[in-house]
Amino acid sequence: RVRVRGVTIHRPIIYGNTAEVIPLEERQSSSNTAHTHRWTVAVRSAVSAPDSDIVGGADDISYFIKRVSFKLHDTYPNPNRNIDKPPYEVTETGWGEFEIQIRIVFISDCGEKPITFYHHLKLHPWTVDGSGEAENPPPEVALKAGPVHSWQYDEIVFNDPFQSFLNLLTAH
């Protein structure tokens, strides 16, 4: 099997999270009243469907991805979450922000090593008060402000890919 020297091919992705305040009534009737937010962390294609308010995800990225692992904070049960088919996402509830480790494993025999990066889970719509200090608004204000979004655009770069993998990527 031969590598195609000098060739670089990228695939655009987005990764990040949305978060919403859990309404008080729902919180009080849940088993975990300390959990203030519901959030979703995801890896998707960077292409959004027209007229959709979902960020990205319109293109298939599963043909070159075997697994996406999200490593949550140790306060979560089974913090290592392996997702083997799209959508590559985890939805949870909680009370705090933390770094999520994201690892993408590519399909078997493609010759590409897994990549690892981090996303800071964002729950709060930080606002700036009159004095220029950043503040984290109270839950009722945050609830009215609507969902928080924190997304990063990036490109997965494959250098000197195997000819077979290059063919697969360009065929899609």
Residues of the shown chain interacting with ligand SLL in the complex, contacts defined by CB under 6 A: 73, 75-76, 94-98
Taking the complex as a whole, how short is the minimal distance between the CB of residue 149 and ligand SLL, in angstroms? 19
Nearer to ligand SLL, 11 or 73 (CB): 73
Which structure tokens are listed for 161? 């890919």
Reduced to 3 states (helix: H, G, I; strand: E, B; else coil), residue 152 is strand
Nearer to ligand SLL, 96 or 114 (CB): 96
Reduced to 3 states (helix: H, G, I; strand: E, B; else coil), residue 44 is strand
Reduced to 3 states (helix: H, G, I; strand: E, B; else coil), residue 171 is helix
- Is the CB of residue 114 less than 8 Å from the CB of residue 106? yes
Taking the complex as a whole, how short is the minimal distance between the CB of residue 126 and ligand SLL, in angstroms? 14
Nearer to ligand SLL, 3 or 122 (CB): 122
Taking the complex as a whole, how short is the minimal distance between the CB of residue 73 and ligand SLL, in angstroms? 4
What is the Cα 94 distance to its own chain's centre?
16
